[in-house]
Homo-oligomer: A and B are copies of this chain.
Amino acid sequence: MSYCVALRLNSGLVFMADTRTNAGVDNVSRYTKIHTWSVQGELQIYLLSAGNLATSQAVISHLQEGDKAPDGPKLGLMQVTSMFQAARLLGETLREVIGEMRDGGQEASKQFDATLILGGQVKGGKMSLYLIYPEGNFIEVSDDQPFFQIGETKYGKPILVRAFDECLSFNEAVKLLVVSFDSTIKANVSVGMPLDLCIYERDSLTPGHSQRLAEDNEYFQELSRLWGAKLKDAFGDLPDFQLSRPHRN
Contacts and interface: CB of A to CB of B under 8 A. Distances in A.
A240 B169 contact: yes
Interface in A158-176: 158-159, 161-163, 169-172, 174-176
Contact of A171 (B171, B237, B243): B243
Contact of A226 (B162, B223, B238): B238
Protomer copies:
2
Interface stretch (A37-45, A108-116, A227-235): A227-235
A178 interface: yes
A172 B161 CA distance: 26
A241 B175 contact: yes
Interface of A: 11-12, 154-155, 157-159, 161-163, 169-172, 174-176, 178-179, 183, 186-187, 199, 201, 208-209, 211, 219, 222-223, 226-228, 230-235, 237-245, 247-249
